[in-house]
Amino acid sequence: MECVMNSVISAVNPSFGSRVNPASLCEKNGLVHRASSSFSRQDTTFSCTKLPGSAKVLVPKLQDPEKGVRSIRKARRWTRASAAAALEYDVVIVGAGVVGTATAHHILTTTKLSVALIDAQVPCSGATGAGQGYIWMAHRKPGTAGWALAKHGKSLWETFAEELQASGESLQEALGLRHTGSLLVASTDDQARSLQSWIQVLSEAGIPSTYWTPVEVANMEPALASGCVTGAAYFHEDFQIDAALTMNTLLKKVREYAAGGRYKELFNTPVQQLIRSSAEGRIVGVEIPAGKVFSRNAVVIASGAWTMTLMNTVSAQWGIPLVPPVKPRKGHLLVIEGPHNIPLKSGIMEVDYLANYHSPGSQERPAAKPAEESGVSVSMTATLDPSGNLLLGSSREFAGFNVDVENEVIERIVERAALFLPGVRSMKGKVRTGLRPYSSDGRPLVGPVEDVPGLILATGHEGSGLCLALATAELVTNMIQEFENPVEFSPFLPRGRLVGALA
Ligand SMILES: Cc1cc2nc3c(=O)[nH]c(=O)nc-3n(C[C@H](O)[C@H](O)[C@H](O)COP(=O)(O)OP(=O)(O)OC[C@H]3O[C@@H](n4cnc5c(N)ncnc54)[C@H](O)[C@@H]3O)c2cc1C
């Protein structure tokens, strides 16, 4: 049985054409850094800012001139005042996406070290603000390094949730956590057969799952088009979080350490260069527009898709290979605000997603398909967020640092989603875009850079940064402390994976 794909292009609502700034999503969910008004931005693109000499590093550009000027002025006043205090922290983290913020949180809550968290924009303005929130094992390959890291990372989210609950917090409010399970949906007979073998593989790896026939799917998830679905695999223990709510909670927790002087955040503050001691070649801090922030132990680069631009600058200046194989992989996500008539119980993903997704750490995964280098791949993903909004994804493409909404990509997402969820045809929505930090060898880069003491990378998580954030944070903290790590981390070390400056 094959699905007949109906054209829904004519039904695409024009209101899909506007981009939701992830930072404003944070604001909507209460994630507002009021002290600096830094979440007042309307939209985000990236431009080249000239650095001294010929070096350039990509930093955020504000699109709304009025609001942008206001928040830049505030940020400048703030950082100048801070710089006058001669900033020095044990650990300086570059990038306040989920990876950088989770790392700050782990260091502050498990050690006595102090942390400066620096972002060129504001938290959630990178890929994190666009993330759909899957904390899933359903689509990962057992036996790979990525599998072990994801499994451990998922268990750390569960522990974090338990701790929050024990301290009286609502998981719905603190993390947007929903125990939905995950449903991989087949639309051909071949896919349905392969799902049955997949269940077997994951069950043997300790992931409980159940196979559903089309009739069972129709009973459990009536919104799914029964004529299209040929079978599905349900994974009981997968869950979802909401990126903005989770970031809100992590930031709230790290700010508790500010009064005691162990935590400092510098937002709207691009890091332009790293500072290296001429005597030992050690990284001892970073340069920001207002001056310098020194590190006693380490500088952690968690700048997501922009890591390559920063490290290219550094690499060019010092003439050593420091550029990780990480580039931006753009994604679109549609947000259909409730009320709507698609009451999903589980998080849903079509089986095709597995082919378009490159699981970080999976040694077996294929390299990006040649067609993908210039084209767009789209697979259906569908979840409900804590407010009941329907999130429909997602696309993958290499489009540089451009985060503009592309109507034809949205049309393809709606077309694909309507195949499984016909009800989406006539709905209105908004669009989120984000740049996943894609690592060309499929593995995140986490760990110290050889021959450059004091420098640690934590980037390249592609479509799994939310899932892997806590595990990455733990790895980085243990590496700084020179403690044992609970998972095998050698596949993620930058060793042998960095190249020299690109022209
Ligand atoms: C549509 C979509 C759906 C997704 N769904 C999921 C999902 O369901 N589950 C999942 O696990 N993952 C998902 N992801 C992937 C996930 O969002 C990313 O892997 C993750 O957010 C990466 O986090 P990060 O902190 O590394 O990067 P980012 O969130 O991009 O943060 C990097 C930060 O560094 C800052 N920065 C850059 N350069 C500098 C500089 N020079 N100085 C200072 N700061 C700098 C940026 O401003 C930015 O805030 C999705 C991604 C997209 C796009």
Atom of ligand 1 nearest to the CA of 121: 47
Label the pairing between strands 44-50 and 56-62: antiparallel
Q: What's the confidence (pLDDT) of residue 145?
A: 87
Least confident among 43-52, 121-130, 144-153, 420-429? 43-52
Closest residue by Cα to atom 4, ligand 1, is 131
Amino acid at 150: A
Q: How far is CA 475 from CA 320, 323, 334, 492, in A?
A: 25, 21, 33, 10
Nearest to 254 by CA among 479, 102, 111, 122: 102
The ligand 1 site (C-beta within 6 Å) comprises 57, 59-60, 94-100, 118-121, 125-128, 130-134, 270-271, 302-306, 310, 331, 333, 393-394, 434, 436-437, 459, 461-467
Question: What tens digit of pLDDT does each residue of 450-469 get?
Answer: 989 999 999 999 999 999 99
The H or E element spanning position 406 is none
* Contact criterion met (CB below 8 Å) for 22 and 246: no
Q: Is the pLDDT of residue 82 over 60?
A: no
Structure-block tokens of residue 215: 């009739």
Mutate which of 31, 49, 98, 432 for ligand 1? The one with the most ligand atoms within 8 Å of its CB, which is: 98
Least confident among 7-16, 230-239, 317-326? 7-16
Q: Is 285 left (phi over 0), alpha (psi -120 to 50) or beta?
A: left
* Contact criterion met (CB below 8 Å) for 317 and 311: no
Would you call 49 helix, strand, or coil by DSSP? strand
Q: What's the rounded mean pLDDT across residues 331-348? A: 94
* Contact criterion met (CB below 8 Å) for 194 and 201: no
**Going by C-beta distance under 8 Å and a sequence separation of 6 or more, which residues neighbour residue 431?**
16, 17, 18, 19, 20, 332, 333, 334, 335, 405, 410
User: Ligand 1 centroid to 467 CA: how many Å?
Assistant: 12
What mean pLDDT is reported for the chain? 83
Amino acid at 21: N
Domains observed in the chain:
9-21+176-239+327-439 (3.30.9.10), 23-130+244-324+442-492 (3.50.50.60)
% of the chain exceeding 90 in pLDDT: 74
Q: In whole angstroms, give the CA distance from residue 236 to residue 220.
A: 13
Q: Is the pLDDT of residue 355 over 50?
A: yes
Q: What's the confidence (pLDDT) of residue 329?
A: 96
User: Ligand 1 centroid to 130 CA: how many Å?
Assistant: 8
CA angle 196, 488, 274 (to 5 degrees): 120
Mutate which of 62, 99, 401, 476 for ligand 1? The one with the most ligand atoms within 8 Å of its CB, which is: 99
Torsion of CA 145, 171, 267, 478, to 10 degrees: -40
* Contact criterion met (CB below 8 Å) for 91 and 270: no
Atom of ligand 1 nearest to the CA of 123: 49
More confident call, 455 vs 23? 455
Q: What's the rounded mean pLDDT across residues 361-373? A: 44
